[in-house]
Amino acid sequence: MLKGIPKILSPELLKVLCEMGHSDRLVIADGNFPSESIGKNAKVIRMDGHGACDVLKAILQVFPLDTYVEKPVNLMQVMPGDNVETPIWDEYEKIVVAADERGGTAIGQIERFAFYEEAKTAYAIIATGEGALYANVMLQKGVVV
């Protein structure tokens, strides 16, 4: 065990976060996301018993967001015609505001199928048990200073 590390971050996940370099991307996926098929070329870490907010909050305690891009945090856009509420996005914003001085302006959106394509190039995908719809979030790693 280590001091100051959120307990939800497993040794496997900490190793992956340490391996990542500047500009590498990490997807925190909801329970419906096709993590294994999209993540064929990525490291897929299973965290089925955890919600995405808890995972995001813990990761942002140790993971710097990229300051060289306008939107280092990206959500999967709701498809036109889907009548879906996304209250989890408000929770994500609170977590990002607490972790990054840019606050909510650091958060963008990516069209669903473009999100899938970008996720195929992510360094890692964390498969959570999150039940909220459109709860997928992609983080771009910054530099530790």
Which DSSP string corresponds to 34-96? -HHHHTTTSEEEEETTS-HHHHHHHHTTT-PBPSSSS-SEEEEPPPTT-----THHHHHHHHH
pLDDT at 2: 82
Task: Give mean pLDDT, residues 41-51.
Answer: 97
Sketch the domain layout of the chain as residue ranges.
22-140
Q: List the beta bridge partners of residue 27.
A: 125, 138
Residue 50 banded pLDDT, cuts 50, 70, 90: very high
Residues 6+ apart with CB under 8 A from 5: 14, 62
pLDDT at 21: 97
If you average pLDDT over every residue of the chain, what do you get? 97
List the structure tokens of 127. 């498969």
Please give the model's pTM, rounded to 2 decimal places.
0.96
pLDDT at 98: 97
Q: Within 10 A of 106 (CB to CB), how many other CB atoms are there? A: 23
pLDDT at 84: 95
> Active-site residue numbers?
22, 66, 116
Q: Three-class SS of residue 106?
A: helix
Helices (H) and strands (E) in the chain, counts: 5, 6
Which CATH architecture group holds 22-140? 3-Layer(aba) Sandwich (3.40)
pLDDT at 13: 98
Task: Give mean pLDDT, residues 61-75.
Answer: 97
With a cut of 80, say whether residue 135 has pLDDT above it: yes
With a cut of 80, say whether residue 1 has pLDDT above it: no
Task: Give mean pLDDT, residues 132-138.
Answer: 98
The CA–CA distances, whole Å, from 37 to 44, 112, 127 equal 10, 16, 12
pLDDT at 76: 98
With a cut of 90, say whether residue 90 has pLDDT above it: yes
How many Å apart are CA 134 and CA 113, to the nearest integer?
Answer: 12
Q: List the beta bridge partners of residue 108.
A: 74
Task: Give mean pLDDT, residues 68-80.
Answer: 97
